[in-house]
Amino acid sequence: MSNDTTKHHQSAAENEKRQGFRVAAIQMASGPSVSANLEEAARLIEEAVSQKAQLVVLPEYFCIMGMKDTDKLAVREQPGEGQIQKFLSNTAKRLGIWLVGGSVPLASSEPDKVYNSCLVYADNGEQVARYDKIHLFGLQLGHEHYAEEKTIKAGNQVVAVDSPFGRIGLSICYDLRFPELFRMMNNVDIILAPAAFTAITGKAHWEVLVRARAVENMAYVIAPGQGGYHVNGRETNGDSMIVDPWGVVMERLPRGSGAVVATIDPEYQASLRTNLPALDHRILQYC
């Protein structure tokens, strides 16, 4: 290979790095059939990949929104086994992407509860991270009643994973209301916030919470949600979005199924952190 050709390839690689990389937040309105949900997820993932997404994040409960809360117990999987995890692994490898299952019901030590687990797969199909939802949603507001602690066992570990895209911090839905969780991730570059926010709480708080987590951590936030009316009668907020470290909503999808795709720019993020080194100015530290 000539020196000119070598320089051309090096220059192309450097340009690609400067231009950043494409990420996607998948929005769904999942139902009670796991197989149907996986089929829809596959279609939307491929839509994102057609837009050059290299990191694709599915919403919370992408694989099942049952007719009742206990339905997820019937489809729970052992770690490393089952059709949902096989789907995630195979899809990541087949498409050559990093793929995040927003939440998967995994077996716990309690027969009447599952872990609500966010699973991250590398482009070779290997699972490289698992986060079990720590903060469990509870709401008594008008006709809306939720009590996740009845069917979900809470996790107790903060999880961040190093990737080709930077350091990624994992969270699920209700976690967004607890900023100390994100401070404990130790300066992540990207925060994932797959969710199934209710229409009521989402309309009031979803955007402000997502943007706040981006600003205070000077991180990109990829926030895919369930969005629409579900067979079980539930309505979820949707408004999946990707937000930059300055708190700007780069792309969003208010309602319906689809892929929200945007370009993450590490150089822009680095410049913001240099010009406004707020993360270095912290005095109080969480234990």
Residue holding tokens 């069917």? 151
CA distance linking residue 169 with residue 276, whole number of Å = 21
Catalytic residue among 63, 72, 113, 173: 173
Structure tokens at 34: 């796991």
CB atoms closer than 10 angstroms to residue 236? 26
113 is catalytic: no
Name the DSSP class of 77.
B
Chain-centroid distance of CA 139 in Å reads 22
Helices (H) then strands (E): counts for the chain: 8, 16
Asked if 52 is an active-site residue, the reply is: no
Cα–Cα dist 14/49, whole Å? 22
In the set 60, 63, 148, 153, the catalytic residue is 60
Torsion sign over Cα 110, 126, 40, 211: positive
Contact 57, 26 (CB under 8 A): yes
Contacts of 41 (CB under 8 A, 6+ apart): 26, 28, 58, 62, 63, 87
Of 40, 77, 118, 133, catalytic: 133
86 is catalytic: no
Q: Which of 221, 225, 246 has its CA nearest to residue 234?
A: 225
Q: Residue 213 is inside which H or E element, if any?
A: helix 207-217
List phi, psi (to 5°) of 162.
Answer: -80, 140
Residues marked active site are found at 60, 133, 173
